[in-house]
Structure 1
Amino acid sequence: MSAFSLELKDVRKSFGKSEIIRGTNLQVPTGERFAVIGPNGAGKSTLFNLISGRFGISSGDILLNGASTVGLRPFEINRLGLSRSFQITNIFHRLTVYENLRCAVLWSLGYKYSFWHRLNGLKDAHERAEAVLEQIGLQRRRSVAAGLLTYAEQRALEIGITIAGGADVILLDEPTAGMSRSESDAAVELIRKVTVGKTLLMVEHDMSVVFGLADKIAVLVYGEMIACDTPANIRGNAKVQEAYLGSHAPEEAAS
């Protein structure tokens, strides 16, 4: 088994003549929490879409636990142990909180397309959904339609859905976007709790979240990885300071 849960090797992505990701290399050790930061338009979302299989790479290689995922579809990558959330919350609004989580655990428990099973009789699915429900702190909201939750609760539910299938590698795309400071602090504690023993890669604009949660920070600027180091070293890195405070300073630098 590879020491790295996720590896990017000279990954490139072009849309027509526009090269968005320019030879990115990254190694994420198993069990560590990584954050990807960078100015607006740096290619962070594109990078996430490449890793999760939503976009195909133009060249290079992406390894998940040592195995190449190039050419695989998103659901195939998911079944190899990678799960992700999105910038825009993706939940089943008309289903209850509990039902959302139960849907998320079914495939990993081997039910797949078993139309002959009665959902209410699946004890293992019920137990796992209840366990995730407790992890994300929404027990009291279990019977509420997901569309009626507050924004912060919906984000917590999406994190629950992301981890419910038992994936070892978790990608979170701006998990605290749009939250108040107190909501953001609660989200950080939730992420820290539910990713224990897992590998985390997140894109986040709130620097207090990044520096408070990540073991390592990778800095992407115009499709190129200019630095990858500990939070303390990134804070004092001259190239990173110029990327955020120079002539192309992004809004997120003020976060």
Structure 2
Amino acid sequence: MNAMTQSGLSTATPALQIEDLRKSFGKAEIMRGVNLSIGAGERHAVIGPNGAGKSTLFNLITGRFPPTSGTVRLHGHDLAGLAPFQINRMGLSRSFQITNIFPKMSVFENVRCSLLWAQGYRYSFWNMVNRSRALTHAAEEILEQINLTNRRDLPAGVLSYAEQRALEIGITIAGGANVIMLDEPTAGMSHSETDYIMDLIRRVTENKTLVMVEHDMGVVFGLADRISVLVYGEIIATGTPEEVRANPKVQEAYLGAVLEADH
């Protein structure tokens, strides 16, 4: 639980603190001064129409794009100038819209590779990873978490789409990151696959900070503690699912049309 003042506001350092974040590509201004604070242990969803800047926001937070101006802090540490791998080693990990696995390697090998740095192997390639009981045990624990133990020795490329997404989530959490960012984790899934991934996300992000971009409002309202609505590079509202659903600006700009389309 976060430390709380008598006024009910958290006194703890936010997991992510974004201040006046801006990004332009040439003359096109994509991010227009985003301010956002996400508490440790919070599950936070970012929603908005196509082209709103959601993936750009993720890329700015994770160091894939440098901001034009503004700051991003992870647990109070300024991320300016850091490469994605450096940010990852500070405890932030992300998945992508397109499944990002090694299809010809086994499911187990995919997870084991993602564990190497966290397990202290660094660049010591002479270490015989096959002989490491600790590494094998850690990989098997993650396979159990993501319900893929019975797929352990299969090439990752033969898994179903939902299983591949589950594997990617396993890879994302393998390094021990305490801030997990998921970009449209249930895109293209059936209802049963979505339920499977929702349950998985809920379990593997327990006691971690989750930031996700998602279009499925059932997933958003089912998982998120708070929601931010991004429209044309600006956050127009942040609040609990109930507050966001009832916000007239959100209904006008985005949510009303989405909810109507879902029926």
TM-score of the two chains, using structure 1 as the length reference:
0.96
What code does the residue aligned with 1:92 have? F
Equivalent positions of 1:144-159 (< 5 A) are: 144-159=154-169
Q: 5+ unaligned residues in a row in structure 1: which ranges?
A: none
Q: 2:112 is matched with which residue?
A: 102
* Distance (Å, rounded) in 1 between the aligned partners of 2:29 and 2:44: 24
Asked whether 1:122 is paired with 2:129, we answer no
Q: What is the CA distance between 1:252 and its match in structure 2?
A: 8.1
Q: 2:6 is matched with which residue?
A: none
Asked whether 1:231 is paired with 2:241, we answer yes
Q: 2:210 is matched with which residue?
A: 200
Asked whether 1:35 is paired with 2:42, we answer no
What SS class does the counterpart of residue 250 from structure 2 fall into?
A: helix
Q: 1:66 is matched with which residue?
A: 76
Asked whether 1:54 is paired with 2:64, we answer yes
What SS class does the counterpart of residue 126 from structure 1 fall into?
A: helix
What code does the residue aligned with 2:261 have? A
Q: 2:122 is matched with which residue?
A: 112
Asked whether 1:80 is paired with 2:90, we answer yes
Describe the shift of the 1:23–1:153 C-alpha distance in structure 2 as closer, same or farther (beyond 3 A).
same
What code does the residue aligned with 1:114 have? S
Give per-residue Cα distances to partners, 1:15-55, cap 9 Å, x unaligned. Answer: 00000000000000000100000011100010001011111
User: 2:79–2:87: 8 Å Cα contact kept in structure 1?
Assistant: yes
Q: 1:162 is matched with which residue?
A: 172
User: 2:22–2:69: 8 Å Cα contact kept in structure 1?
Assistant: yes
Asked whether 1:137 is paired with 2:144, we answer no
What SS class does the counterpart of residue 211 from structure 2 fall into?
A: strand
* Distance (Å, rounded) in 1 between the aligned partners of 2:174 and 2:43: 18
Q: 2:5 is matched with which residue?
A: none
What code does the residue aligned with 2:133 have? K
Give per-residue Cα distances to partners, 1:171-191, cap 9 Å, x unaligned. Answer: 000000000011001110000
Q: 5+ unaligned residues in a row in structure 2: which ranges?
A: 1-10
User: 1:205–1:252: 8 Å Cα contact kept in structure 2?
Assistant: no
What code does the residue aligned with 1:71 have? G
Q: What is the CA distance between 1:121 and its match in structure 2?
A: 1.1
Give per-residue Cα distances to partners, 1:100-142, cap 9 Å, x unaligned. Answer: 0000111011101111111111121111100000000001000
Give per-residue Cα distances to partners, 1:46-68, cap 9 Å, x unaligned. Answer: 00010111111000000001000
In structure 1, which of residues 196, 209, 214 is the aligned counterpart of residue 219 of structure 2? 209
TM-score of the two chains, using structure 2 as the length reference:
0.93
What SS class does the counterpart of residue 170 from structure 1 fall into?
A: strand
Q: 2:194 is matched with which residue?
A: 184
* Distance (Å, rounded) in 2 between the aligned partners of 1:148 and 1:253: 36
Asked whether 1:17 is paired with 2:24, we answer no
* Distance (Å, rounded) in 1 between the aligned partners of 2:189 and 2:70: 36
Describe the shift of the 1:204–1:85 C-alpha distance in structure 2 as closer, same or farther (beyond 3 A).
same
Q: What is the CA distance between 1:253 and its match in structure 2?
A: 6.4
What code does the residue aligned with 2:45 have? A
* Distance (Å, rounded) in 2 between the aligned partners of 1:124 and 1:81: 21
Asked whether 1:26 is paired with 2:36, we answer yes
Percent sequence identity over aligned pairs = 64
Q: What is the CA distance between 1:244 and its match in structure 2?
A: 1.6
**RMSD (CA atoms):** 1.4
* Distance (Å, rounded) in 2 between the aligned partners of 1:2 and 1:125: 34
